[in-house]
Chains A and B, each alone.
Chain A
Amino acid sequence: MIEVQQLVKHYHGFTALKGITFTAQPGEILGLLGPNGAGKTTTMRILTGFMPPSEGSARIAGFDILTDSIEARRRVGYMPERVPIYPDMTVEGYVRFWAKLRGVKQPHDGVKSVLERFNLYDRRRHLVRTLSKGMRQRLGLAQALVHNPDVVILDEPTIGIDPQQVIEVRESVRALAKTHTVLFSTHILSEAEQVCDRVVILNRGEVVAQGQPDELRRQLYPGDHLYVEILGGGVETGLKLLGAIRGVETVEPQGSGFNVLARGDVRSLISERVSQAGYKLLELRPVAMTLEDIFLEVVKRRTPPQT
């Protein structure tokens, strides 16, 4: 549904995108993940037809964004990072305007349904300027979806809203899966993990990793992560004891215990060695790797060491 091939964007003597390639399948929620300045907004602006790429190509639902720009734009719903509003329009008038502009001939039913879906129907006659920030985010989602597009592009939709509204927006985005292809940018890693089926990690204009969060975990940390806490002995003893166990690859002190990376299941061996050495095992548990760990790891691996 979204095909991006070797996209490059230069502006003001700066290369914002350095040949990124990725695809999103129909019904998939694809997270575009990266720190500020990674190139997420530039990618989205190119895909929505707002700006052309310097090199490379992109297709939306089979339509090239340069040669079939109007057809591609017809199939996209876009919500920029800051929801743009016409303050003097009513909520209903605002959504109807975008529906008509995107080619909906009889917008009445579509507008009503999208306002109901985002709990804005009761406020349909209010001026947009009177809405709270959370409501404006929902209004942004409503305008992006009113023409029932194949592809929905959301640029950091949860930024600057309170935690309850963040949960609502995330749920709304999750609800879009299956019926729409969603490209969702965020720099909050846990959010990408909760919302997205797959993630593309961008850093300084390059794709540094892509795949399902679980898949990325397996690629980058092909082993078991354990947290071990021992009563008795010191840090040195613990490092030596755990490091000597067959299958253990690395041991690092972490808080009052140790982080252990091992190949295969070494839990029974750890328990046995600790009691043989006369210490007590206080805690032994697998550690789930977060997307944050993955992100830091890929960025670390790709950053050349400083001399």
Chain B
Amino acid sequence: MWIVFRKELGQYFNSPLAYLIMAGFLFLTGLWFNSDLTFSVGTKAPDPALIPFNLSFFMVFLAPVLTMRLFAEETREGTLELLLTAPVRERDIVLGKFLSAWCFFSILLLITLIYQGILISISRPDLGHTIAAYLGIWLYGGATLGVGLLFSALTENQVLAAFLSTSVLAFLWLGDLAGAIVANIDLARVIREITLQGHFSDSFAYGLMRVEDVVYFAGVIAITLFLTMRVVESRRWR
């Protein structure tokens, strides 16, 4: 697993796309931070969960970009055939790839801690709030990467993989809004329970850590990884 993990992480840093993503990510998060800071002067305390909260929407697009090549490229180039003839289990291949994407995302997230450092140096933010929001977005990111990985395994076309996972993630994100406008309260509650936002925007984003939200994100990760393993395994039977 760690051999696949190291290779995939290396691939991120060998590709110019990864640096473009990193630059774009820092530019965007910097812009959010700066505008919130400017707006906060003399009016309110800066929001310590601003970046995690905005990222929860941004992940709908970022996760597919980070994961689209992981299996689709292997299938297209034929390396998956060679990988499946190596003495490694599908489980190790899938976990290695997933962890590399999650690790790359974690690095991106760690870089944004610069903004928290700036906040601490000029104000007294609620550190508990910050930690909960970052932990939440880290788990949220893992779940979205799991969805992206699954769609990458389903097709050999990277663009199609990215499109399909963006669609599903957008549905899971917008589902939260649908839950807010449905008249039937029970139905609205069910919708909120299955959406990504329903487990982030009212809890982690407000500095609240709930076991059910952690279980939800861990569950999404486990289910998507399990399905990805089955999809990869099915290559042997096709």
Contact = CB atoms under 8 A, between A and B. Distances in A.
Contacts of A71: 87
A143 to B, nearest CB: 8
Nearest to B82: A84
Nearest to B74: A84
A93 B237 CA distance: 31
Contacts of A100: 3
A48 B11 contact: no
A101 interface: yes
Given A11-B238, A51-B237, A84 B7 contact: no
Given A89-B14, A97-B3, A101-B88, A50 B236 contact: yes
B79 interface: yes
Contact of B86 (A52, A80, A101): A101
B12 to A, nearest CB: 10
Contacts of B4: 101
Contacts of B128: none
Interface residues of B, number: 23
A73 B81 contact: no
Interface string A88-100: 1100010001101
B77 A86 contact: yes
B87 A103 contact: yes
Contact of B77 (A50, A84, A101): A84
Nearest to B236: A51
A73 B86 contact: yes
A84 B79 CA distance: 5
Interface in B66-123: 77-89
Interface residues of A, number: 29
A133 interface: no
B15 interface: yes
B78 A86 contact: no
A96 to B, nearest CB: 10
Interface in A55-74: 70-71, 73-74
A102 B78 contact: no
B230 to A, nearest CB: 15
Given A78-B82, A100-B3, A101-B3, A88 B11 contact: yes
B87 A73 contact: yes
A85 B83 CA distance: 11
Contacts of A26: none
A176 B88 CA distance: 26
A82 B75 CA distance: 13
A71 B238 CA distance: 23
B236 A78 contact: no
B108 to A, nearest CB: 20
Interface in B1-21: 3-4, 7, 10-11, 14-15
A84 B238 CA distance: 19
Given A86-B11, A97-B7, A100-B3, A80 B88 contact: no
Contact of A85 (B14, B15, B79, B86): B79
Closest 6 CB pairs of A and B: A84-B78, A48-B85, A84-B79, A74-B87, A73-B87, A88-B14
Interface of B: 3-4, 7, 10-11, 14-15, 77-89, 236-238
21 contacts: A48-B85, A50-B81, A50-B84, A50-B85, A50-B236, A51-B236, A52-B236, A73-B85, A73-B86, A76-B85, A80-B78, A80-B81, A80-B82, A82-B78, A86-B77, A86-B79, A93-B10, A97-B7, A98-B86, A101-B3, A102-B86
